[in-house]
Amino acid sequence: MSTINYGRVREALLKKQQVVAEYNGHIRELCPHVIGRKNGREQALFYQLPIPLISPLDSGGIRHPVPIQSAMVFRLNPPPLVGA
């Protein structure tokens, strides 16, 4: 059975929406590209939008996998989807 977050991330992927979520203690704007399970855990591959005010390392945008149960999804934003 899928979690609520999994359903919301899947919805964002299908509708090409951004996901605003807290992950590792930071609010992040994420664009989902792939969603599924790895070793039985729900996971998604996201493009993270640049965040120049937080860290120079985050300013270019990155792609990385996020365990969905580790993120708290706050809302879905309408397009445009970045990095698709």
- Would you list the domain boundaries of the chain? 4-77
**Digits of tens for pLDDT over the chain (84 positions)?**
688 889 999 999 999 998 888 888 888 888 899 999 989 999 999 888 766 555 544 445 666 778 888 878 788 887 665 555
Instruction: Using the CB atoms, write b or e for 49-60: b if 16+ within 10 Å.
Output: bebeeeeeebee
Question: If residue 30 lies in a helix (H) or strand (E), which one and from where to where?
Answer: strand 26-38
Instruction: Identify the three-state secondary structure at position 41.
Output: strand
